[in-house]
Chain A
C-alpha cells in the first residue's frame, strides 16, 4: 500500500467553480503535511502547508483530519491558471517527503 493515496481525477470544472479533493496517508506518525502544485513538465512547487486547525491561502483551503488520516484541498472561484496536478505530500520523518501520485485539475473557460 502506498504511503499517500490520492484520487487521480481528472477534475474538469468551469471557471468560477469550486473544486475539492483529498488524500489519505497510512503512517499515523506523520508530522507535517503539504500540498504541492506541479504544472505539466515542470517541477513541483509548494502551494501550502496544512495545519491541524485548517488553513486558508487566498482561494485555497486545506484541512487535516489526523484521526482519519485525511487531508483535503478546496479551490474556490477556479481560474484557468489553477489547471495543474496537485500533489499531496506527507513528511514521515524529519526530512523525507512522501508524495501521492497527484490529482489533475483542469479549469475550462
Chain B
C-alpha cells in the first residue's frame, strides 16, 4: 500500500522566503508527526497532531514555524522568513492509532530544505 508521501522532496529557498512543506500520511492514520533532522543528527520532534488537533507543538524552534492539519489528513509545515539554520531534512511520520508507545511511526522520505 501507499506509504507516507511528502512534497516537495527538495526545496531551495533564499533567506527570508516563506516555504510550505506538505505531508500525506497513510490513509486512516490518526496521528501525524513532524521532525527536523539536521546533518549528522537524529530526527528531532517538532509537533504532533491527533486528527486535526495539534496536541503538542513544543518542538517548534520559533514562532516562524507553523503546522496545520485542517481536515485531519494532509498536513502542511510552514516556515516563514527562512534562515540558514532552518536548512535540514523535514520528516513527516504517521501512526495508526491514538497516542500510545506501541504505535509504530512510519516515516515519509522527507523534504530536504536548503536556505541560501
For residue A61, which residues in chain B have a CB less than 8 angstroms away from its CB?
none
Residue B48 is within 8 A (CB to CB) of chain A in the complex? yes
Residue A44 is within 8 A (CB to CB) of chain B in the complex? yes
Query: Per a CB cutoff under 8 Å, which of A44, A87, A91, A95 touches B31?
Result: A95
Chain B interface main SS type: loop
- Count class of interface residues, chain A: 20 to 34
Known contacts A91-B101, A95-B31, A95-B100: A43-B44 contact under CB 8 Å: no
Residue A1 is within 8 A (CB to CB) of chain B in the complex? no
Query: Per a CB cutoff under 8 Å, which of B42, B55, B101 touches A32?
Result: B101
Query: Per a CB cutoff under 8 Å, which of B31, B40, B43, B102 touches A99?
Result: B43
Q: Count the B residues whose beta carbon is within 8 Å of the partner chain — how many?
A: 24
Looking at the assembled complex, report how far the CB atom of A27 sits from the nearest CB atom of chain B, in whole angstroms: 13
Per-position contact with A for B75-106: 1 when CB-CB < 8 Å, else 0? Answer: 00000000000000001000000011111110
For residue A45, which residues in chain B have a CB less than 8 angstroms away from its CB?
107
Which B residues lie at the A interface, using CB under 8 A? 31, 33, 35, 40-45, 48, 55-56, 91, 99-105, 107-110
